[in-house]
Amino acid sequence: MEKEIIHKELDLIQGLITRMASNSFEVKKWLIGILTAIVVFKYDELLGGNGQLIWLLLVPVFCFWYLDAFFLSTEKLYREMYKWVVKYRSQTGKYLYDLNSMSREFPDGNTEHLINEKNNVWNVMFSKTIWPFYAVPVFFIIAYAVLQYFSNCPHACCGY
């Protein structure tokens, strides 16, 4: 197979990998912006009074956390595809420019599924590169809600 064809296919895959990494970064930027805007414009409803609506801030955090994990999972998937093309493209023309098939057949007839445990969305969500970023706002939201609860607690058990 011509090297030009292989290089073009690798460029296509690399473009997808770059786009997924860029999307992951954008998701983080949007989360920070949205949380900031919600807190600034809805301060009285969220943090004032008894602070019961603070829990609503968890919704965008978990939504963006999932989206970020999805993009990084897809990036890992295309990295696996890139490795396969580098290793086997010179031996077979199968799957040429096919960026949708998530399983690849080796020249010896065996099939490998590119979607596996290490690039599963849920595993990526709790990887050491993502969970700390999202755990920080979750921690502060929960901590603030607990503090508000105990500072406004009407029960004798709270000691106030």
Q: What pLDDT does 68 receive? A: 96
The stretches in the chain having pLDDT less than 50 are none
For 10-69, give the DSSP string: HHHHHHHHHHHHHHHHHHHHHHHHHHHHHHHHTHHHHTSTT-GGGGGGHHHHHHHHHHHH
> What does R_g of the chain's alpha carbons equal in angstroms?
23
Per-domain residue ranges for the chain?
A: 3-158
Give the pLDDT confidence score for residue 31 in this predicted structure.
95
pLDDT of 56-74, one tens digit each? 889 999 999 999 999 999 9
pLDDT at 32: 93
Residue in 137, 13, 141 with CA at minimum distance from that of residue 68: 137
Q: What pTM does this model have?
A: 0.82
pLDDT at position 51, please? 61
